[in-house]
Structure 1
């Protein structure tokens, strides 16, 4: 489960960063998935920022949960 969460987090982080770079510079035209979603027209910047943040949370969640479980087991 940890590897799945880390994998999804990395994909979200890369897609969000590519979307931000596309918004700011015009690069990564084919990488940015958010810009292809028509219901987010005009809100791509916020969606890409949210995707980066969710990616960071997904990457750090397994480690934080494991540390919490260890502290709880220790007493």
Structure 2
């Protein structure tokens, strides 16, 4: 379970982080930038992915190994 939480947290983090510099560089990296209905509002979903990513990392660390 600990590994699953870490992997899901990493996936959320890896999709949320590219959305923040997108506002300044216009790079089209990640899933958030490719969704048409989020055009012009990429920062909010990116932050919404970062918050649960850190919560998942914290939950993974609080789990006992094994």
For structure 2, which runs of at least 5 residues remain unmatched after alignment? none
Query: Hey, which of these two has a bigger chunk of helix by percent?
Result: 1
Choose 1 or 2 for highest CA Rg.
Answer: 1
Q: Give the total of aligned pairs.
A: 64
Higher relative contact order (CA 8 A, sep 6+): 2
TM-score, normalised relative to structure 1: 0.69
Instruction: Flag as ranges the 4+ runs of structure 1 deviating above 6 A.
Output: none
Q: C-alpha deviations, 1:12-69, integer Å up to 9, x for none? A: 1121111112222234x2x3210111222232110011111111111111223x37xx
Q: CA RMSD in A?
A: 1.8
For structure 1, which runs of at least 5 residues remain unmatched after alignment? 68-75
